[in-house]
Amino acid sequence: MSVERLWNVLPVVAVAGSIAFGAGVLAATPGSRHPVNAARFNRVTGAEDATETLVVFLVSSFCGASQDAQLKQAMREDRSRMLAEATRRGSHVRFVGAAIDGSFDSGIRLLTEFGTFDELVLGSGWMNQALIQYVWRDLPGPASLPQMVVLRRTVHLAENDIGVGHDIVVRRLVGKAEIRDWLRDPTSRF
């Protein structure tokens, strides 16, 4: 692994490790499947091979459109409907909130106004890891907020391994009106 790549990966690993440790998730025995994620995934999909939908929500407290009260309400209300819909279809959905604020505190405060997320990416401004991955480099898109990127990937759960396929962009929504409309229209989601 190149030094440049290592510097891109280390902050994500450090944050993810800290969050996982703080949540008591690292209690798994060596060599075993991660009990929390694998059990949750299997419970929802009922299979070892499944499709996962990842909904990445990019916002910032210095963005006026990210402060929209109707957008916050739509995210809080429609997230649970999306989860129920996905469960009925036997699929799995995860929500990632990414606040590109310069401070963790302001990012967490903003994201909690939108409801709950399965994962958070906070800080670093326009060099936030979620922006690098979903706007600048890996899956490029417009540098505009708020933004929601809907991805699909294949996940394979084996006895001692989790295999994750490449992310495929299903939909990219830019701006508060486009995101609100998508959230409120169940026929357009999956």
Q: Is 106 helix (H, G, I), strand (E, B) or coil?
A: helix
User: Which pLDDT belongs to residue 14?
Assistant: 45
**Confidence tier at 79 by pLDDT (50, 70, 90):** confident
**Confidence tier at 18 by pLDDT (50, 70, 90):** very low
Pick 42 or 59 by higher pLDDT.
59
- CATH number of the domain that residue 101 is part of: 3.40.30
Count how many domains the chain has: 1
Task: Please say if the pLDDT value at position 145 is more than 90.
Answer: yes
> CA-CA distance, 134 to 169, in Å (whole number)?
9
Average pLDDT over residues 43-67: 83
Pick 148 or 102 by higher pLDDT.
148
Task: Please say if the pLDDT value at position 179 is more than 90.
Answer: yes
111 token code pair? 């994201």
User: Which pLDDT belongs to residue 42?
Assistant: 53
- Domain hosting residue 10, numbered range: 3-188
**Confidence tier at 157 by pLDDT (50, 70, 90):** confident
| Phi, psi at 45, each rounded to 5° | -90, -25
